[in-house]
């Protein structure tokens, strides 16, 4: 198929003018275009929030799910049809608050899905409450009192959970972000991109101005090589990535923190357990009926379930 | 005897389930019909666990009953707990090393239970030792005590095979089943078949168990056939012996399930284990499955991923019980909003909260029907027994796909954990109906509103792009808040209820058992069927009244018109409902949906099953003594 495709739908976008989500949308569609992704084989799965609306603006399959549940929806889609490219979008409240358990589970499974965190430090759509990435004692303009809860470190959490591609991008560095997204899509296994996303309406601390001054690129660092090339390097590379993950404030690194192509994906593990019948016959593809009837006949039934069948010898 | 009832009891983890499996297989091999229900605590090792089994030479029994003719007790607790559930010339098989044990020396028994049993013993003038109960049963009830020295048998076994003494308790279950079969006079071959087929592929264990059987039957030589069971008269050549969990798993496999996600919870988890075991592989030339089984991080993920898989066209399901279902409810609503066909197998257990996690209940009817925010169409069905469970599990997918709605298949712990011998279902009857599927090419609108049911395309189909959203959406799937669109889409979804009412055939909505011109009617759903149908038979035979049982299979949308037609000619006073709950929720649903009132209620909420004789007594007291509500309590 010729992919002179427009990856943007023509819907009016209801994000606040100046919102970092515009940058993310542009970077995602650019990555899709560069990779010439087939819209019918690509799925954007989102949660709820400002970020959750993104599937409607992209011209590929879109599943706008529930608050925090994008990852499990995506998990079912991917397992049932492993040929699809799946991108999950969620806010920090979505992925690290209500959906934190699913976030961890995806890492453990290393299923081939890309997760993009729209990290704005606040709950956007419910009007600016503190999100799980907002540091303790911060007081953004939507809060009455300083934040009384500590923050979670998304990069460190992803590393600890088992994601095999962990990166950070910035919403308004489109070139850099779309390159990261492309690499994440090309990576086999669970990929995570923490995207710093200014929320112009509710977060007056992590503004575009703030990020412009603080951000630097890991690629530019002398000797920075996040890729695990030998299994023996794994521990060292994770520790280095963790150390980088702790940098926050005056200097904030973006780029790839960790990449490990050698860990088996969930699809590979399933294929082993199911003795090769997967993914050839994935749930979405295998035959279940013949002329409106079960593929089972009495003979196959009795053979398969012989453990339950007893011949009477009275 | 035509039939015999048995209790086998001992500490959880001591092989009670093994005993059930071996005996069920042995009896079935000879051609008897069996049913056996399992009771256990929410505990892995040590608490009191038992099964109640009914074996019949004349029929496939549909309910269990008390009192029993045989109790086989591997510990003192079983004797204390069940001594008043045996009567009339039966046999008590017990370990002589427990004779001196006193009630207050049973550490695993709850204090409140001890007090209850102490009162019982005192009222009969017994002291609190096992020996005094045995003496009482012998003298007053004509029960034959059969004391066996478990320790000496096991030490002999251990010497013979040089077994680790720490592992000997594993063999207790074989002592029990060997003695039961000796007393009944089941020929060696059958029990050996039971043992062999249970332990197949485990050669050593098999060898030990066979030797053990020899030792026991030799020692009980003089007790051989003291409780003889008639030769079976059923003319069935092949039977299936399975639990309710197995039945559902088998139905799902045959019905074309391709994805099941679950989070472990009693009594649902065993279903997924069976699916995992039989859901892939090759049989003959036929490639089976594979069904992908995913153990998720929680129930929210289980249902969400089930929905995700369904969007790609796979038949997808999840299985859970009350607490897990509650967590699924938000996503259930999403499936309703997006017209996604999924099947939720819902095994009820005792609530509220974690209530009685391993006991039975039917108190979640309203939860299955009304849970979730917003209005949308769903189907709730129930199964009355194992055979129905197989067929319904397959049919649930057809209903889901035909009407593009979530289907809740409502079962309960009683069915899940009951082992029964059943006829092999007629597999050729199983249809696979995938409903309306988009194949035309051209522009696709997932929620095409020209019909209540829009053709489905699947995510991943070539050249098609699909949007879904839990927000109100237009025909494409994009968020739209316009009132006119809202009306159109809302009505499209809700009108499915009328379609379902119209198109689901009567026999999938309800089935009537018993007399065609009944004088009274019992109405119930799920596993109440077996006991109710057998109680009708007793009523006809013993007091000459004709009854019918209405087994409600489709609970939502409620088959109001069909039910009204059936009960129309009967006086309200002769309509009786039965349910494992306090409220008899089905009566409320009948009042609400069909304007029907009922004359009597038989309920039970101890978490223990209905026993045939207590159910029958309750029925008589409603029919003849003007009782309105009978609360049953039998069973430990
Ligand atoms: C179960 C549930 N709880 C609460 C909400 C309300 N809700 C809607 S959006 C939102 C916050 C989203 O914040 P975040 O995930 O950080 O995304 P953002 O809007 O910042 O992109 C919440 C809590 C909901 N939709 N569902
Ligand atoms: S509230 Fe914040 S995150 Fe939401 S659209 Fe506005 S600027 Fe963007």
For the segment B513-554, what is each residue's pLDDT rounded down to a tens digit?
999 999 999 999 999 999 999 999 999 999 999 999 999 999
A125 Cα–ligand 2 center, Å: 7
> pLDDT digit string (tens) for B188-231?
999 999 999 999 888 889 999 999 999 999 999 999 999 999 99
Q: The tokens of A176 are what?
A: 């850099």
Q: What is the pTM of this model?
A: 0.98
Question: Residue B291: pLDDT band by 50, 70, 90 thresholds?
Answer: very high
Q: Which ligand is nearest to the CA of A93?
A: 1
How far apart CA A87 and CA A73 sit, in angstroms, is: 11
| Nearest beta carbon to residue A283 from set B30, B292, B331 | B292
How far apart CA B603 and CA B619 sit, in angstroms, is: 11
- Chain B within 8 Å of A276 (Cβ-Cβ)? no
3-state secondary structure of B281: strand
Q: Which residues pair with A125 in a beta bridge?
A: none
Task: Give the gap in angstroms from C-alpha B419 to the nearest C-alpha of chain A.
Answer: 11
CB A42 within 8 A of CB A87: yes
pLDDT score for B589: 98
Query: Is ipTM over 0.85?
Result: yes
* Residue A86 CB contacts under 8 Å (≥ 6 apart), including other chains: A42, A43, A45, A74, A77, A78, A112, A113, A114
CB A79 within 8 A of CB B258: no
**Please, what is the Cα angle at B271 between B268 and B274, to 5 degrees?**
155
Residue with tokens 């004391």: B147
pLDDT score for B285: 73
Which phi and psi angles does A35 have, rounded to 5°?
Answer: -85, -5
pLDDT score for A154: 98
Which phi and psi angles does B85 have, rounded to 5°?
Answer: -105, 10
Pairwise CB contact (< 8 Å): A312 & B305:
no
Q: Which residues pair with B327 in a beta bridge?
A: none
**Please, what is the Cα angle at A145 between A141 and A149, to 5 degrees?**
105
Residue with tokens 């963790």: A242
* pLDDT for residue B284 is more than 80: no
CB B469 within 8 A of CB A70: no
How far apart CA B427 and CA B291 sit, in angstroms, is: 19
pLDDT score for B283: 74
Q: Count how many pairs of residues, chain A against chain B, have C-beta atoms within 8 Å.
A: 257
Task: Return the best residue to mutate from A19, A117, A133, A134 for the ligand 2 pocket (most ligand atoms within 8 A of CB).
Answer: A19
Q: The tokens of B21 are what?
A: 């499996």
Task: Give the gap in angstroms from C-alpha A50 to the nearest C-alpha of chain B.
Answer: 13
* Residue B211 CB contacts under 8 Å (≥ 6 apart), including other chains: B157, B160, B161
> pLDDT digit string (tens) for A73-86?
999 999 999 999 99
Pairwise CB contact (< 8 Å): A41 & B460:
yes
Q: How far is CA A213 from CA A121, A134, A252, A253, B401, in A?
A: 18, 19, 9, 11, 55
Q: What is the DSSP string of B525-578?
A: ETTHHHHHHHHHHHIIIII---EEEEEE-EEES--HHHHHHHHTTS-GGGEEEE
How far apart CA B121 and CA B134 sit, in angstroms, is: 12
Largest CA distance in chain B: 86
Which positions in chain A touch B441 (Cβ < 8 Å)? none
pLDDT score for B281: 78
Q: Which residues pair with B381 in a beta bridge?
A: B409, B554
Q: How far is CA B377 from CA B59, B166, B299, B325, B374, in A?
A: 40, 57, 22, 17, 10
CB A74 within 8 A of CB A102: no
Q: The tokens of B396 are what?
A: 């649930």
Question: Residue B286: pLDDT band by 50, 70, 90 thresholds?
Answer: confident
* pLDDT for residue A108 is more than 60: yes
pLDDT score for A4: 55
How far apart CA A69 and CA A89 sit, in angstroms, is: 10
**Strand B281-283 versus strand B286-288 pairing type:** antiparallel
Q: What is the DSSP string of A80-139?
A: H-TTSEEEEEEEHHIIIIITHHHHHHHHHHT-S-EEEEEE-SEETTTTSEEPTTSPTT--
pLDDT score for A3: 43
CB B566 within 8 A of CB B549: no
> pLDDT digit string (tens) for B487-506?
999 999 999 999 999 999 99
* Residue B249 CB contacts under 8 Å (≥ 6 apart), including other chains: B271, B272, B274, B275, B278, B279, B393
Residue with tokens 């055939």: B505
Residue with tokens 């009455």: A144
Task: Give chain B's count of helices (H) and strands (E).
Answer: 22, 24
How far apart CA B380 and CA B366 sit, in angstroms, is: 10
pLDDT score for B289: 84
| Nearest beta carbon to residue A308 from set B246, B309, B432 | B246
Q: Nearest to residue B227, comparing CAs of B6, B410, B35, B392?
A: B6
What would the 3-class secondary structure string for B99-115 be?
CCCEHHHCCCCCHHHHH
How far apart CA B200 and CA A158 sit, in angstroms, is: 46
pLDDT score for A2: 44
Q: Nearest to residue B312, comparing CAs of B468, B460, B463?
A: B460
Structure letter (DSSP) for residue B265: -
How far apart CA A154 and CA A245 sit, in angstroms, is: 8
Angle between helices B150-161 and B172-184 (to 10 degrees): 120
A243 Cα–ligand 1 center, Å: 30
Pairwise CB contact (< 8 Å): B239 & A309:
yes
Q: The tokens of B549 are what?
A: 């049982």
Taken in order B409, B412, B415, B417, is the CA torsion positive or negative?
Answer: positive
3-state secondary structure of B201: coil
Pairwise CB contact (< 8 Å): A72 & B428:
no
Which positions in chain B touch A288 (Cβ < 8 Å)? 256, 258, 315, 432
* pLDDT for residue B628 is more than 80: yes
Ligand 2 atom index nearest CA of A127: 1
> pLDDT digit string (tens) for B116-131?
999 999 999 999 999 9
Q: Nearest to residue B556, comparing CAs of B348, B403, B431?
A: B403
Is the CB of A211 inside a 6 Å radius of any atom of ligand 2? no
Residue B351: burial class (beta carbons within 10 Å; 0-12, 13-18, 19+)? middle
* Residue B134 CB contacts under 8 Å (≥ 6 apart), including other chains: B79, B92, B94, B99, B145, B147
Give mean pLDDT, residues B462-482.
97
Q: Whose CA is nearest to atom 2 of ligand 2?
A: A199
What percent of chain B is predicted at pLDDT more than 90?
Answer: 94
Which positions in chain A touch B468 (Cβ < 8 Å)? 62-65
Task: Give the gap in angstroms from C-alpha A139 to the nearest C-alpha of chain B.
Answer: 32
> pLDDT digit string (tens) for B545-600?
999 999 999 999 999 999 999 999 899 999 999 999 999 999 999 999 999 999 99
Q: Whose CA is nearest to atom 6 of ligand 2?
A: A16
Which positions in chain A touch B291 (Cβ < 8 Å)? 283
Residue with tokens 């989070």: B263
Binding-site residues, ligand 1, Cβ < 6 A: A 48-51, 67, 91-94, 118, 120, 122-126, 131
Is the CB of A16 inside a 6 Å radius of any atom of ligand 2? yes
3-state secondary structure of B288: strand
> pLDDT digit string (tens) for B125-169?
999 999 999 999 999 999 999 999 999 999 999 999 999 988 898
pLDDT score for B88: 82
pLDDT score for A258: 98
> pLDDT digit string (tens) for A188-224?
999 999 999 999 999 999 999 999 999 999 999 999 9
How far apart CA A18 and CA A241 sit, in angstroms, is: 31
Q: Which ligand is nearest to the CA of A123?
A: 1
Q: Which residues pair with B437 in a beta bridge?
A: B456
3-state secondary structure of B150: helix
Which positions in chain B touch A71 (Cβ < 8 Å)? 301
Pairwise CB contact (< 8 Å): A73 & B304:
yes
> pLDDT digit string (tens) for A18-60?
999 999 999 999 999 999 999 999 999 999 999 999 999 999 9
* pLDDT for residue A17 is more than 70: yes
Question: Residue A1: pLDDT band by 50, 70, 90 thresholds?
Answer: very low
pLDDT score for B201: 83
In b/e form, how buried is each residue of B463-480, taking b as 16+ CB within 10 angstroms? ebbbbbbbeebbbbbbbb
Q: Which residues pair with B55 in a beta bridge?
A: B4, B34
Pairwise CB contact (< 8 Å): A275 & B255:
no
Which positions in chain B touch A308 (Cβ < 8 Å)? 240-242, 246, 250
3-state secondary structure of B81: helix
Q: The tokens of B604 are what?
A: 């039970």
Largest CA distance in chain A: 87
Q: Nearest to residue B401, comparing CAs of B433, B439, B377, B445?
A: B433
Average predicted confidence (pLDDT) for chain B: 96
* pLDDT for residue B239 is more than 80: yes
């Amino acid at each position: 198929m010729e992919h002179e495709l427009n990856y943007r739908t023509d819907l009016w976008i209801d994000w606040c003018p100046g919102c970092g989500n515009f940058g993310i949308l542009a970077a995602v569609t650019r990555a899709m275009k560069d990779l010439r992704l087939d819209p019918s084989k690509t799925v954007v799965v989102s949660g709820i929030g400002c970020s959750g609306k993104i599937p409607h603006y992209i011209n590929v399959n879109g599943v706008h799910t529930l608050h925090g549940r994008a990852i499990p929806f995506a998990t079912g889609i991917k397992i049932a049809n492993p040929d699809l490219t799946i991108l999950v979008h969620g806010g920090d409240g979505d992925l690290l608050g209500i959906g934190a358990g699913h976030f961890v589970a995806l890492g453990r499974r290393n299923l081939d899905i890309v997760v993009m965190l729209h990290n704005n430090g606040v709950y956007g759509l419910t009007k600016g409450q503190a999100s799980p990435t907002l540091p303790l004692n911060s007081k953004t303009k939507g809060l009455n009192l300083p934040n009384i809860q500590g923050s979670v470190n998304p990069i460190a959490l992803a590393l600890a959970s088992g994601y095999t591609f962990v990166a950070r991008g910035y919403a308004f560095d489109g070139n850099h972000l779309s390159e990261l997204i492309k690499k994440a899509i090309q990576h086999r296994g669970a990929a995570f991109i923490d995207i710093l996303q200014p929320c112009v309406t509710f977060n007056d601390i992590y503004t575009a101005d703030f990020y412009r001054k603080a951000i630097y690129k890991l690629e530019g660092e002398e000797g920075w090589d996040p890729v695990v090339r030998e299994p023996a390097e794994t521990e060292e590379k994770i520790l280095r990535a963790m150390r980088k993950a702790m940098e926050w404030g005056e200097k904030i690194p973006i780029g790839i923190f960790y990449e490990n192509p050698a860990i088996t994906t969930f699809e590979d593990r399933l294929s082993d357990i199911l003795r090769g019948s997967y993914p050839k016959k994935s749930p979405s593809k295998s035959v279940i009926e013949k002329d409106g009837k079960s593929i089972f006949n009495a003979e196959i039934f009795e053979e398969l379930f012989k453990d339950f069948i007893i011949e009477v010898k009275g | 005897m035509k039939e015999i009832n048995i209790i086998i009891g001992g500490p959880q983890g001591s092989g009670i389930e093994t005993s059930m499996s071996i005996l069920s297989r042995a009896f079935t091999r000879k051609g008897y019909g069996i049913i056996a229900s399992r009771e256990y605590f929410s505990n892995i090792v040590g608490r009191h666990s038992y099964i109640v089994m009914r074996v019949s030479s004349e029929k496939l029994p549909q309910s269990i009953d008390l009192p029993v003719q045989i109790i086989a007790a591997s510990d003192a607790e079983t004797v204390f707990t069940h001594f008043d559930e045996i009567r009339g010339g039966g046999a008590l098989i017990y370990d002589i090393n427990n004779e001196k044990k006193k009630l207050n020396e049973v550490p695993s028994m709850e204090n409140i239970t001890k007090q209850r049993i102490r009162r019982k013993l005192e009222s009969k003038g017994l002291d609190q030792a096992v020996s005094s109960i045995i003496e009482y049963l012998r003298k007053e009830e004509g029960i034959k005590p059969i004391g066996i020295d478990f320790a000496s048998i096991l030490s002999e076994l251990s010497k013979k095979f040089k077994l680790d003494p720490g592992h000997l308790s594993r063999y207790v279950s074989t002592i029990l089943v060997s003695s039961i079969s000796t007393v009944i006079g089941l020929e060696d071959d059958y029990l050996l078949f039971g043992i062999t087929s249970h332990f197949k592929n485990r050669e050593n264990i098999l060898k030990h168990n066979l030797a053990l059987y020899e030792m026991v039957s030799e020692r009980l030589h003089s007790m051989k056939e003291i409780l003889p069971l008639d030769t079976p008269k059923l003319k069935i050549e092949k039977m299936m012996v399975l639990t309710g969990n197995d039945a559902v798993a088998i139905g799902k496999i045959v019905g074309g399930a391709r994805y099941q996600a679950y989070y472990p919870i009693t009594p649902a988890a065993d279903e997924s284990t069976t699916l995992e075991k039989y859901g892939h592989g090759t049989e003959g030339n036929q490639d089976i499955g594979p069904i992908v089984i995913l153990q998720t991080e929680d129930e929210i993920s289980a249902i969400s991923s089930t929905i995700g898989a369904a969007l790609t066209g796979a038949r997808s399901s999840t299985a859970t019980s009350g607490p897990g279902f509650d967590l699924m409810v938000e996503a259930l609503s999403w499936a309703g909003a997006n017209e996604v066909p999924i099947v939720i197998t819902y095994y009820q257990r005792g609530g509220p909260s974690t209530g009685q996690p391993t006991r039975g209940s039917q108190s979640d009817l309203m939860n299955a029907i009304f849970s979730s925010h917003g209005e949308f169409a769903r189907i709730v069905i129930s199964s009355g027994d194992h055979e129905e469970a197989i067929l319904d599990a397959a049919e649930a997918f057809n209903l889901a796909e035909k009407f593009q709605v979530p289907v809740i298949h409502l079962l309960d712990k009683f069915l899940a954990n009951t082992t029964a011998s059943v006829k092999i279902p007629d597999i050729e009857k199983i249809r696979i109906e995938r409903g309306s599927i988009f194949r035309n090419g051209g522009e696709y609108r997932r929620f095409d509103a020209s019909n209540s049911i829009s053709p489905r395309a699947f995510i991943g189909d070539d050249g098609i792009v699909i949007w879904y959203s839990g927000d109100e959406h237009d025909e494409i799937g994009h968020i739209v808040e316009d009132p006119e669109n809202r009306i159109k889409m809302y009505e499209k979804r809700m009108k499915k209820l009328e379609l379902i009412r119209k198109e689901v055939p009567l026999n999938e909505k309800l089935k009537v058992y018993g007399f065609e011109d009944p004088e009274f009617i019992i109405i119930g759903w799920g596993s109440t069927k077996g006991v109710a149908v057998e109680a009708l038979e007793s009523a006809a035979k013993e007091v000459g009244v004709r009854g019918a049982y209405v087994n409600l299979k489709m609970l939502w949308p409620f088959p109001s018109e069909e039910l009204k037609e059936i009960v129309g000619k009967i006086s309200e006073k002769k309509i009786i409902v039965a349910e494992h709950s306090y409220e008899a929720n089905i009566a409320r649903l009948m009042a609400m949906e069909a304007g029907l009132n009922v004359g009597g209620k038989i309920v039970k909420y101890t978490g223990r099953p209905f026993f045939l004789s207590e159910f029958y007594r309750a029925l008589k007291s409603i029919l003849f003594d003007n009782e309105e509500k009978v609360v049953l309590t039998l069973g430990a």
